[in-house]
Amino acid sequence: MKKKEQVVFKHIFNDYMTWSIWFLSIMVLVHIISVTAISYFGIESISWSILGTISQAAPIFLLILGIMNMGGILAYLTSNGVTRRDYFVGTSKAAVFISFILAVVAVLLLLIETMIFTMFGWQLIESITVSGLFITFISLVLRLTLFFFIGWLISAGFYKYPWLIGMLFIVIGVFLVSVSDFVWGDQGNRTFEFLPERDLPMLVAIIVSFILIAVTMWIIRLVTKHIRVKV
């Protein structure tokens, strides 16, 4: 990694991981309060896990982080001699790392929660298997990464172009999420429940997800390659 790319990576990663820690802490607190309230009424089965709670909220959180990539952050980095290429590469790497770490933490929290539930004699309605956990982990990493880049894409569109053209980038983002929902079907967490489900092979879903992420990154690179920084 080049020096300037490393500077961008550290700056983005450190800032966004700090916010991610706060996000995870809030999600855990909300989940504990919910489970405690349910157990208070004598219910012995819980219909969702901490992984489900995080999986529902994390994509929106990553979308917001992606939207925040333009504006002040871009102006600050470029004013310190960072090229637009370094900004793109460093931020992209930080996005992948953050998505991976969040997914790992979510899975670890699920395992801890399962052990605690076992101790108290509670049972999660959500079945937990090694293969199911692996599929959930892979889909979560890819989904979080995609949502980050979609947020970044929308932000870059509004940053560079008039608002009417910027709306087009929202349409592109919705289309990308729809395709992701379609290929993962009921194997992943869906954003648009009204879409039809298809039981596609996991390998197909992974390949399509990589293509969606690559296309989104390509468009972002085109938009930001010669973008005029607003001070």
- Nearest CA to 15 out of 95, 109, 100 is that of 95
pTM of the predicted model as reported, rounded to 2 decimal places: 0.88
Domain ranges of the chain: 3-27+46-224
User: 135: closest CA among 206, 62, 196?
Assistant: 206
Q: Are 140 and 103 in contact (CB under 8 A)?
A: yes
Q: What is the mean pLDDT of residues 184-202?
A: 61
**Mean pLDDT over residues 127-135, rounded?**
73
Specify the higher pLDDT residue, 154 or 133.
Answer: 154
Which pLDDT belongs to residue 161?
86
Residues 6+ apart with CB under 8 A from 146: 176, 177, 180, 209, 212, 213, 216
Calpha distance 197→153 (Å, rounded): 26
Q: pLDDT of 140-187, one tens digit each?
A: 999 999 999 999 999 999 988 888 888 999 999 999 998 888 888 655
Instruction: For residue range 22-56, list pLDDT tens digits in order.
Output: 999 999 998 888 777 766 665 555 567 888 888 88
pLDDT at site 126: 56
**Mean pLDDT of the 17-21 span:** 94
Which helix (H) or strand (E) segment holds residue 25: the answer is helix 3-40
C-beta separation of 62 from 148 below 8 A: yes
pLDDT at 187: 55
Spatial separation of the C-alpha atoms in residues 55 and 126, rounded to whole Å = 14
Determine if residue 17 is left, alpha or beta; phi over 0 gives left, psi from -120 to 50 gives alpha, anything else beta: alpha
Nearest 5°: phi and psi at 123?
A: -140, 130
